Amino acid sequence: GDSVTQMEGPVTLSEEAFLTINCTYTATGYPSLFWYVQYPGEGLQLLLKATKADDKGSNKGFEATYRKETTSFHLEKGSVQVSDSAVYFCALVNNDMRFGAGTRLTVKP
Amino acid sequence: DSGVTQTPKHLITATGQRVTLRCSPRSGDLSVYWYQQSLDQGLQFLIQYYNGEERAKGNILERFSAQQFPDLHSELNLSSLELGDSALYFCASSVGEGRSYNEQFFGPGTRLTVL
């Protein structure tokens, strides 16, 4: 069945560092791909999405490109802030919605 | 604030008991989804309803059931509770039926503790 694998955390960075969180997927057909963010004590919020190959999703300085050839959707941000500290989930939607295990990011001042 | 409301926020109960979690979707959203988030299993999709009808089933146990009412609110019923059912239960809603192109808006969750 479909599945999502994302890099294990936790990830700890200093403010203004470059962020990459890797995400790869296994799916038949053409899934849509998403990144969700969960701040402490809150539900998940959609961060960005891409619905077809080579689409780039972007929001709040975060970007991810749907790479069908490598079945990947890595999340990147050029300069993280303390307020970016959260858990990030990669997800796909095909026949149903599958989430990765989540990566906890802590950004230190 | 996503516009999705869930009650109660916290629930503490004993093994063998039955509980009901409630979700009100965003105004205008017809789909409701239920998810379970636990430390060992991660975030798992349980079930989806669209305009009162079941649309998709994920990893939902037979002890669990859900329904969506005519006013579009949904309830998740968990029975014969076990310690392993302790988790955060999220509800999400979206406008349409198909999941590929519809952003899901998540509620704040209900934390269930089974003692």
A58, exposed or middle or buried, with CB in 10 Å at 0-12, 13-18, 19+? Answer: middle
| Chain B partners within 8 Å of A46 (Cβ) | 103-105
**The pLDDT of residue B51:** 94
| Chain B partners within 8 Å of A89 (Cβ) | 43
**The pLDDT of residue B98:** 67
A31 CA: distance to closest CA in chain B (Å): 7
Return the percentage of chain A with pLDDT > 70, whole number.
100
Q: Are B88 and B39 in contact (CB under 8 A)?
A: no
Is A102 close to B42, i.e. CB distance below 8 A?
A: yes
Averaged pLDDT for residues A51-67: 96
A63 pLDDT more than 90? yes
Residue B14 identity: A
A95 pLDDT more than 80? no
**The pLDDT of residue B40:** 78
| Chain A partners within 8 Å of B43 (Cβ) | 44, 89, 99, 102
Q: Which one of A44, A92, A94 would you mutate to disrupt binding with B, by most B Cβ within 10 Å of its Cβ?
A: A44
B110 CA: distance to closest CA in chain A (Å): 10
Euclidean distance between CA atoms B74 and B67, whole angstroms: 6
CB atoms within 10 A of CB B100: 15
Question: In whole numbers, what is the pLDDT of chain A averaged over residues?
Answer: 93
Phi, psi angle pair for B85, to nearest 5°: -85, -10
What does the angle CA B71 – CA B43 – CA A93 come to, to the nearest 5 degrees?
A: 75
The closest of A23, A33, A8 to A72, measured between CA atoms, is A23
Residue bearing the bigger pLDDT, A62 or A98: A62
Minimum Cα–Cα distance from B91: chain A residue = A43
- Would you place residue A96 in the very low, low, confident or very high pLDDT band (cuts 50, 70, 90)? confident
Closest to B100 (Cβ–Cβ): which among A36, A89, A93? A93
**The pLDDT of residue B53:** 95
Minimum Cα–Cα distance from A102: chain B residue = B42
Given a cut of 70, the residues of chain B with pLDDT beneath it are 98-102
Structure tokens at B38: 């636990």
B100 CA: distance to closest CA in chain A (Å): 5
Is B45 close to A97, i.e. CB distance below 8 A?
A: yes
pLDDT digits over A2-48, tens only?
A: 899 998 889 999 999 999 999 999 998 889 999 999 998 888 999 99
